Structure 1
Amino acid sequence: MDDHQEEGPEKVKLFGMWASPYVLKVRWALSIKGVEYEYVEEDLRNKSSDLLEHNPVHKKVPVLLYRGRPVAESDVIVEFVDEAWSHRGGRILPDDPYQRAMARFWVRFVHDKLSPPIWKWFTAAPGEGQEAALGAAVEQLQVLEDLLAVGGKEFFAGESVGLVDLSLGAMAYVVPMYEEIIGVRLVTEERFPSLSAWMGRFLDSPPVKDHPPPVERLKPRYRAMREAFLNMG
């Protein structure tokens, strides 16, 4: 539990787990809106009765408790935070309906098209399978490179962190760890200049500086994950 607490009718509580990029995404969104909250660290091997009560469907983190009512799933929570505190901080979703729809489209792109080949590349043994995953990841990263390069935007949302940036945020610190563990570069300044610059800007942005990813704690965790997948092969 940390010092982010808000008393009164809008008391907010976040159930999370330190290693979860989905929890971190919600913490970044709350930071953008300047929302104070109570943070509860969960042991996912021994889930609390509160977590199971508030998220009986998925039984996982993150879960946001607002005025005693739970909101689950990170993407749903981020949009809820933006709407519930629309009068505070910066906007996470665009005001324009078309731009808002496009932001949601690119969030789905991250989930459906980008994340799977990057994960497969990381967990595959050296060989044709890993090379194929690398090629697929590069192809999807190029789509994002082209999107970001249009107009020379600082972030996918424009001049500040928005919905797409938050959904891609884990990539900014996870991909460098994957690269270090495997010994192969995926995102380089030569190959993806706009995306590479975005990763640096995102990690240096106010919400991320408020809650930086625990990279040194995560590295052995990811090394163990890769070893487990390789041993299964």
Structure 2
Amino acid sequence: MAEEVKVFGVWGSPFSRRVEIALKMKGVKYEFIEEDLANKSPLLLKYNPVHKKIPVLLHNGKPICESLVILEYIDETWKGTSIFPQDPYKRAVARFWARFIDDKCLPTLWKTCWSQGEEQEKGKEEACELLKILDNELKDKKFFGGDAIGPVDIVANFIGFWLGIIQEITGVEVLTKEKFPKLCQWIDEFINYSIIKENLPPRDKLKAYFQTRLPNK
């Protein structure tokens, strides 16, 4: 029986792209279904009734929600390139850093870039502390997991690509080469890694989208 794999997502979402990168790493063919988050489809609401969010992976009619959960599901379901480390301890460490990025780094970075005045200054301090922790975690490694792209790199895709565009548009500087040389070196390696490079949204399109979010537009 032919497998049916569908991804409900949004072209410019880093969370959708995580799922697509993982499927591409495994060589899994899938159908991408573009969602309009202002007018969510009945299917999205049916398959993710709890959070009502993208991405949703539909595998032979069974929905899996939340990008971190989906990454593990993809890794465990299909053979081929391993995404998570095989060693249980290393897997646990990867899960820890993926959660740290999702729970701490992304909300702080997003809020800081789009806030103003005192709130922005406070956000910058907090964002720098979090980025310092990530910078230190890289040590002398090429990627977070070592020499190859792993789950933490995939989850950090917002920092690797989206953040630079948002900083450019808003004029907020948090992640710079002077402050975070290792992270910036990682970004260069990350966005030029073939499977990542091929699965990033068009920079100009993303830039234009974020420009519409600027105040007084």
State the TM-score, normalized to the length of structure 1.
0.87
Mapped to 1, the partners of 2:169 and 2:36 lie a distance apart of 26
Instruction: Pick from 189, 192, 195 the counterpart of residue 183 of structure 2.
Output: 195
2:55·2:66 contact (CA, 8 Å) conserved in 1?
Answer: yes
Answering whether residue 151 of structure 2 is matched by residue 163 of structure 1, we say: yes
2:57·2:70 contact (CA, 8 Å) conserved in 1?
Answer: yes
| Aligned residue runs from structure 1 range 22-171, under 5 A | 22-85=15-78, 87-88=79-80, 90-125=81-116, 127-149=117-139, 152-171=140-159
Q: How many residues align?
A: 217
Q: CA deviation at 1:43?
A: 2.2
1:13·1:39 contact (CA, 8 Å) conserved in 2?
Answer: yes
Mapped to 1, the partners of 2:123 and 2:41 lie a distance apart of 38
Instruction: Pick from 223, 229, 232 the counterpart of residue 211 of structure 2.
Output: 223
Q: Decide which moves more: 209-218 or 99-108.
A: 209-218
Root-mean-square deviation (CA), in Å?
1.7
- 1:35-56 per-residue CA deviation (whole Å, 9 max, x = no partner) reads 1111111222333232222222
Mapped to 2, the partners of 1:12 and 1:184 lie a distance apart of 39
Mapped to 2, the partners of 1:109 and 1:173 lie a distance apart of 18
Q: CA deviation at 1:130?
A: 1.2
- 1:145-199 per-residue CA deviation (whole Å, 9 max, x = no partner) reads 11102xx111001111111111111111122112212224322222211100111
Structure 1, unaligned stretches of length 5 or more? 1-7
Partner of 1:18: 11
Structure 2, unaligned stretches of length 5 or more? none
> Partner letter of residue 152 of structure 2?
V
Overall identity of the aligned pairs, in %: 44
